[in-house]
Structure 1
């Protein structure tokens, strides 16, 4: 596949995840990722500052979509209802490629302390985006922070369930996110 082919960014992510899984994160070079994706090293660097950033490809988009969904929730929506609206909006960014690479990405992260750290920072960033959007709606900071953390947990749980096992391709990611949020809401109510 030539470097002029479309979807270079997506191909780079898939190539990196495959190489991280096959030979480990530390043993994988940018040159190998670029070659596997069928692009040049300079094309790699046009999309990513380094190989670590491949893990969070799309993080800015997810943060933006979460915040937009929260901001556009009905005025009378509770903080968790607004988070649910954000999750539904963010689900639109997760397509078949996200689902396809999820198990390999999970394995690559589990095998690398550096990737685990980057994944944790991604969660913090997503929570911060939701908290900021909720505070802008007038939600008090502690409530906004708690609702955001539940949103991040729901995203992780929903993503894990959506991406594991044999599921029909038409399965709606938003359904898994909302189910996870409902389960977390019920669990938090039982805390007393």
Structure 2
């Protein structure tokens, strides 16, 4: 892992620790940077805002590639659901635990209400682009991607608030509904 990646990960970990200990609103970017052993300016070189420490989504390229790889004759919503299901199948236990923590913080911080929705533009664009590469027209591709991301956001936030189900179960149920299964 190179220096940039180590610093990036240290900042993310420090943020999660402080958000968990003190709450999102009480944890300042200065304290996060200090805990990670870097300057606040360095934090903002890696993350454009405090909420980006929680909202940065490494899964977009994986999901888009999996959607592009779906059979050409598959309807768009089914291609999205099955592509996303395949992309998320490889999520390990540590990543799932980290995701649950991040989403729980988002769900509990009043200043972050609506943050997933406001931050979903890149995910929607990646998924709509994948559908377009499969031959879908731009407007229907964007509508399908928006519906999928909205539905998954609801399912993921509900999963994060409870300990009742695994990520696979929560995503599976949502993707079955969203994909018409």
**TM-score, normalised with respect to structure 1:** 0.69
2:178: which partner in 1? 184
Give the alignment partner of residue 109 of structure 2, picking from 102, 111, 116.
111
2:77: which partner in 1? 80
| Aligned alpha-carbon RMSD (Å) | 3.3
CA contact (8 A) 2:127 2:145 kept: yes
Post-superposition offset of 1:162: 5.0
User: Structure 1: how far apart are the matches of 2:143 and 2:60?
Assistant: 17
User: 1:32-181 maps to which residues of 2 (within 5 A)?
Assistant: 32-37=31-36, 39-41=37-39, 44-57=43-56, 59=57, 61-91=58-88, 94-101=91-98, 102-103=100-101, 105-113=103-111, 115-160=112-157, 163=160, 164-165=162-163, 173=168, 176-181=170-175
User: Structure 2: how far apart are the matches of 1:179 and 1:166?
Assistant: 13
Unaligned runs of 5+ in 1: 188-192
Unaligned runs of 5+ in 2: none
Aligned length: 175
1:25: which partner in 2? 24
CA contact (8 A) 1:55 1:119 kept: no
